[in-house]
């Protein structure tokens, strides 16, 4: 033990006394009680899993057990790609561990520009801006583009980062019913004509794995004079001939003003971005606070991202395999009698909907004990009252692994009473 650690251990650790009526933590009491009641039943905490060793995009050791990973966003399996890893190591050696600065000061290194070039090549756009996370890309772009007296119109099931982007800015916020073209039209129709409007959509909605009817939605937005932003976090890599996302697959690229995405899913590392052909887009680098007032990504991260993005341009075979996996898993689970988030396989996400939290945690734990990790999801991440296990497939899952996964779901479902 170091001298500092010994001193720290000797310090008193009793909490500061606060009167209950002044305790700012009192508002969390209901949540704490709910969690404690659940843990008291003896289940493992679905939100405290530790990966002790990660052997490949589809396999890890969790608590000493060889486990198949079916709950990562590693859709294209790029985390262990040898070229991606080599690019990261080379940048680490050449540029060091981090930039210690904002993109607008000392934090733009040549790998950041190269990464933005890779995005421009991938998306075929004039402009690309890299943020430190996808969360920050939404936070920054949404809060900055739509200002006071203007409107943001968003799907009720939007990701937290979209809601938080609205909360950070000063625009009026209007929600429409999830994936309802009619409701979007109605709500846009009620707004005054003159102010600027931004309609925010997602290609794939990540909790249920359903996709947006973008041609209809974009047409309605344009009819009302709104600009359109599509978040392709879960669509990048395997939708569309070039893997750009659902907006490419559905043929609306010419009418989408901004595409936001992340490096934390198909790209296989961390970071976020926005691409656009808007001629004035680069002014964002001066006015977008979540871009300006934070440190830029380490050069090794943007170098891995750039290499991965360029490889994803030529990943047609991987895309096809991922779709085969998605169809097989969806069909197999449906045939067993599980209720799924979508009637047909629409993306690499297959959501298994359970009766309540107790059943969801029981199935989650039984699968984990059998050697399968999936995501447990609950409100507020999911729509109200919805408890689900989210399965996200990877292009590196073999056909045999998918059969093993199905057998695990069958056994666990019967063991916990989720299947009749």
Shortest distance (Å) from residue 138 CB to ligand PLP: 6
- The Cα–Cα gap between 312 and 302 comes to 15
Helices (H) and strands (E) in the chain, counts: 15, 17
Residue with smaller CB distance to ligand PLP, 230 or 402: 230
In the complex, least distance from residue 202 CB atom to ligand PLP, rounded to whole angstroms: 5
Distance CA 120, CA 114 (A): 10
Using CB under 6 A, list all residues that contact ligand PLP.
133-135, 138, 159, 161, 202, 206, 231, 233-234, 262, 264, 272
Cβ nearer to ligand PLP, comparing 244 with 328: 244
**Which is closer to ligand PLP, CB of 274 or CB of 418?**
274
Whether 153 contacts 176, CB under 8 Å: yes
Does the active-site annotation cover 314? no
DSSP string covering 213-224, please? -HHHHHHHHHHT
CB 251 to ligand PLP: min, Å: 21
Minimum CB distance to ligand PLP, residue 14 (Å): 37
Looking at beta carbons, which pairs linking 46-49 to residues 24 or more positions away fall under 8 Å?
A: 46/361, 46/364, 46/365, 46/376, 47/376, 49/368, 49/373
Region of residue 278 (left: phi > 0; alpha: psi -120 to 50; beta: else): beta
Residue 365 to residue 373: CA distance in whole angstroms: 9
265 has catalytic annotation: yes
How far, in Å, are 83, 90, 144 from residue 119 at the CA level?
Answer: 17, 20, 21
Q: Are 363 and 43 in contact (CB under 8 A)?
A: no
The CB-of-17 to ligand PLP minimum distance in angstroms stands at 37
Which of residues 294 and 359 has its CB atom nearest to ligand PLP in the complex? 294
Please report how close the Cβ of residue 279 comes to ligand PLP at its closest, in angstroms.
Answer: 26
Catalytic residue among 112, 127, 197, 265: 265
Strand ranges of the sheet holding 65-69, from the earlier edge strand across to the other edge: 53-56, 59-62, 65-69, 372-373
Using Cβ positions, the residue closest to ligand PLP within the complex turns out to be 134
Given the residues 112, 127, 159, 234, select the one marked as catalytic: 234
Active site (annotated) includes residue 224:
no
Output 234 or 321, the one with its CB closest to ligand PLP. Answer: 234
Nearer to ligand PLP, 138 or 401 (CB): 138
Nearest Cα to Cα of residue 164 among 137, 185, 128: 137
Cα dihedral 156/162/167/168 (nearest 10): -170
Sign of CA dihedral 323, 394, 409, 345: negative
Answer yes or no: are the C-beta atoms of 152 and 163 closer than 8 Å: no
Question: Which of these is catalytic: 132, 143, 161, 206?
Answer: 206
Q: Which is nearer to ligand PLP, 173 or 419 (CB)?
A: 173
Contact in structure between 396 and 354 (CB atoms under 8 Å):
no
Among candidates 265, 248, 175, which has minimal Cα distance to 214? 248
* Distance between CA atoms of residues 99 and 209, nearest Å: 36
Six-digit token string for 281: 């887009």
> Of the two residues 210 and 231, which places its CB atom closer to ligand PLP in the complex?
231
Whose CA is closest to 290, among 206, 203, 164?
164
Residues involved in catalysis:
206, 234, 265
């Amino acid at each position: 033990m170091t001298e500092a650690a010994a001193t720290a251990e000797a310090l008193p650790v009793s909490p500061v006394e606060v009167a209950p009526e002044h305790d700012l933590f009192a508002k969390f009491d209901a949540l704490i009680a709910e969690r404690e009641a659940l843990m008291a039943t003896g289940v493992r905490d679905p939100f405290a899993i530790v990966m002790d060793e990660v052997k490949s995009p589809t396999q890890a050791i969790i608590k000493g057990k060889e486990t198949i990973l079916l709950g990562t966003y590693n859709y294209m399996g790029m985390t262990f790609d040898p070229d991606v890893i080599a690019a990261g190591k080379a940048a680490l050696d050449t540029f060091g561990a981090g930039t210690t600065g904002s993109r607008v000061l000392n934090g733009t290194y040549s790998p950041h520009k190269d990464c933005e070039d890779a995005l421009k090549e991938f998306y075929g756009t004039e402009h690309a801006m890299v943020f430190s996370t996808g969360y920050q890309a939404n936070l920054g772009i949404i809060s900055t583009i739509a200002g006071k007296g203007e409107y943001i119109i968003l799907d009720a099931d939007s990701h937290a980062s979209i809601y938080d982007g609205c909360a950070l800015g000063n625009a009026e916020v209007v929600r429409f019913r999830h994936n309802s073209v009619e409701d979007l039209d109605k709500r846009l129709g009620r707004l005054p004509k003159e102010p600027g409007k931004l309609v925010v959509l997602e290609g794939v909605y990540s909790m249920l794995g359903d996709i947006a009817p973008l041609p209809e939605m974009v047409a309605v937005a344009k009819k009302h004079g709104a600009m359109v932003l599509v978040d392709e976090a879960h669509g990048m890599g395997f939708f569309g001939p070039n893997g750009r996302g659902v907006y490419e697959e559905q043929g609306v690229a010419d009418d989408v003003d901004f595409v936001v995405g992340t490096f934390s899913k198909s790209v296989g590392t961390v970071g976020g971005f926005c691409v656009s052909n808007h001629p004035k887009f680069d002014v964002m680098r001066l006015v977008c606070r979540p871009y300006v007032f934070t440190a830029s990504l380490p050069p090794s991260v943007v170098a891995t991202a750039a290499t991965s993005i360029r490889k994803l341009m030529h990943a047609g075979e991987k895309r096809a395999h991922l779709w085969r996996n998605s169809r097989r898993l969806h069909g197999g689970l449906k045939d067993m009698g599980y209720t799924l988030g979508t009637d047909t396989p629409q993306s690499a996400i297959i959501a298994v909907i359970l009766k309540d939290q107790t059943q969801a945690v029981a199935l989650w734990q039984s699968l984990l004990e059998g050697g399968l990790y999936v995501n447990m999801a609950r409100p507020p991440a999911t729509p109200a009252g919805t408890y689900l296990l989210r399965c996200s497939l990877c292009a590196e899952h073999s056909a045999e692994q998918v059969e093993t996964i199905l057998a695990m779901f069958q056994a666990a479902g019967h063991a916990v009473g989720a299947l009749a």
